Chains A and B, each alone.
Chain A
C-alpha cells in the first residue's frame, strides 16, 4: 500500500511539473484563423474560361507588394480586421515587343466583420460578409482608376460567396 502511494505521489508531481510547460501556447499551423478573400480571374469574353494573370502584383496602402505572379488565376487577398473596407492596388502587366507595360486598378472591398473566439493561443478570428449589391451601403466591390491611369483592366466582377469564412471556396470572380 505504502509503495503504491509513493509511486502515485511521484507520478502526480511529475505530471504537475510537466503540465507547467504550457504546451498549448503557440497557435498551431493549420488552425482556421481569419480567412483571406479568394479571387479567381476569368476571361471576359468567355466567362467560364479561367484566365491567368501576367506580371501581376498587388499591394494595399503603402505595405509590401505581393507578387509578381505569372500564370495564376487564383489569388488570396487579406482584408483588414480593424475596419470595414480594404483597398488594394491590382497591377497587371502585359508584354509588348519585349517591353512590359503596367495598368493599375484600385479595388475596394466593403464588408462587415464578425469576430469569433478560436483558442488561448490563437485568440480571435474575423469572418467577413461582403455588403449586399442592392442597398444603401457601399457596393461590395468598387473598381476605380488611380490618378493618371486611363483605363480599367478589370471589366466586371461577380460575387460567388459573400460570406468569407474559409479559404476553400472562391468568393469573387473577376473578368478581364
Chain B
C-alpha cells in the first residue's frame, strides 16, 4: 500500500508542472516534434531488488513514436520472487515480454513532449514455480497442521495476458523522462503446474481469483531522437 501512496504523491507532484508549462512562453515558434525511440528502466523493480531479499528483478521499457499521438510500446523483464503465505511458500522465476500501444491524450504546448496516456499490452511470460513448503489444512484442527517441504520445481510454464495501461511521462531535462503507469491485467491462458497453481506470474504479478492482476512501474527513460517532424 505504501508504494501506491508514494506513487500517487509523485504523480501529484508532477501534475502542477504540466499546468505551469501551459502559462509560460506564448511566442509562436515553428512547431516540430521529436520522433525517436525511448528506452528506460523501471526504478521500482531495480530498487526493490536491493531492499527486498525475496525479490530480484528488472524491467526495461521502450517505446517508439509512430504518429503524433500513438506510440508502439513494450517492456521486457525478469522476476524472481519468493512468496511466503500462511499456507504456502513458493518461488516464481521467469522472464516476460509485453508489446502494445500507447495513446497520448495530453495536448502539449509548443515543443513540450509530456504524456498522459492510455494503452494496452499483450503479455507473455515463461517461468518456473518452485513449491518450497505447504501446510495441509484440516478444519477439524485436532492435530497440528502438517508442514511438507517438497522443494518441487515445476518448469516450462507459460502465460498469456492482456494489460490495460494508464500513465504519465514528464520530461525532466532534455530527452530524459520520468514516468509512472498503472496496469490492470486479465489472464488469457496459462499453463498450470500439476497439483499446484500459478499464484504469481512474472510480469503479471500476483493472480487474483485465478485470472486478474494489477501492477505499476515507475520509469526513468531517455529518448534517442531520430528525426523531427512538424506537428
Contact of B216 among A16, A29, A78, A119 (CB under 8 A): A16
Task: Check B136 against A20 for contact (C-beta < 8 Å).
Answer: no
A82 smallest CB distance to B (angstroms): 4
Report Cα–Cα, A121/B196, bound state, in Å: 13
The stretch of A7-15, A48-56, A97-105, A129-137 in contact with B is: A7-15
Interfacial residues, chain B to chain A (CB-CB below 8 A): 1, 4, 8, 85-88, 105-107, 116, 118, 134-140, 142-143, 146, 148, 164, 166-167, 182-184, 195-197, 199, 208-209, 212, 214-216
Chain A nearest Cβ from B148, distance in angstroms: 7
A122 closest partner in B (C-beta): B137
Chain A nearest CB from B62 CB (Å) reads 22
Contact partners of A19 in chain B: CB under 8 A: 208, 212, 214
Pairwise interchain contact A25-B85, C-beta atoms closer than 8 A: yes
A12: chain B residues at CB < 8 Å are 164, 166, 182-184
Interface size class of A (residues with CB under 8 A): 35 or more
Contacting residue for A15 out of B105, B138, B143, B184, CB 8 A: B184
* Contacts A24-B208, A63-B143 given; does A124 touch B134 at CB 8 Å: yes
Residue among B1, B118, B136, B183 with max Cβ neighbours from chain A (10 Å): B136
A-B CB contact pairs (8 Å), 10 listed: A5-B166, A9-B116, A9-B166, A9-B182, A13-B182, A16-B183, A17-B1, A19-B212, A78-B138, A116-B195
Q: Indicate if A166 sits at the interface (CB-CB under 8 A).
A: no
Assuming A5-B118, A24-B208, A120-B88, is B146 touching A82 (CB within 8 A)?
yes
B197 x A122 contact (CB < 8 A): no
> A119 vs B118: C-alpha distance in the bound complex, in angstroms?
34
A123 near B137: Cβ-Cβ < 8 Å: yes
With both beta carbons as reference points, the residue of chain B lying nearest to A4 in the complex is identified as B105
Chain A: interface secondary structure? Answer: mixed
A78→B140 contact, CB < 8 A: yes
A120 touches B85 (CB 8 A): yes
Given A24-B209, A126-B136, 20 more A-B residue pairs with CB atoms under 8 Å apart are A5-B118, A8-B166, A9-B116, A12-B166, A12-B183, A15-B184, A15-B214, A16-B184, A16-B215, A20-B4, A25-B85, A33-B137, A34-B136, A63-B143, A64-B142, A78-B143, A115-B195, A122-B87, A123-B88, A124-B134
Contact A124 B214 (CB under 8 A): no
Closest CB in chain A relative to B121 CB, distance in Å: 14
Report the minimal beta-carbon distance from A34 to chain B, rounded to whole angstroms. Answer: 4
Q: Give the residues from 25 to 82 in chain A that come closer than 8 angstroms, CB to CB, to chain B.
A: 25, 27, 29, 31, 33-34, 36, 60, 63-64, 66, 76, 78, 80-82
User: Chain A contacts of B148 at CB under 8 A?
Assistant: 115, 124
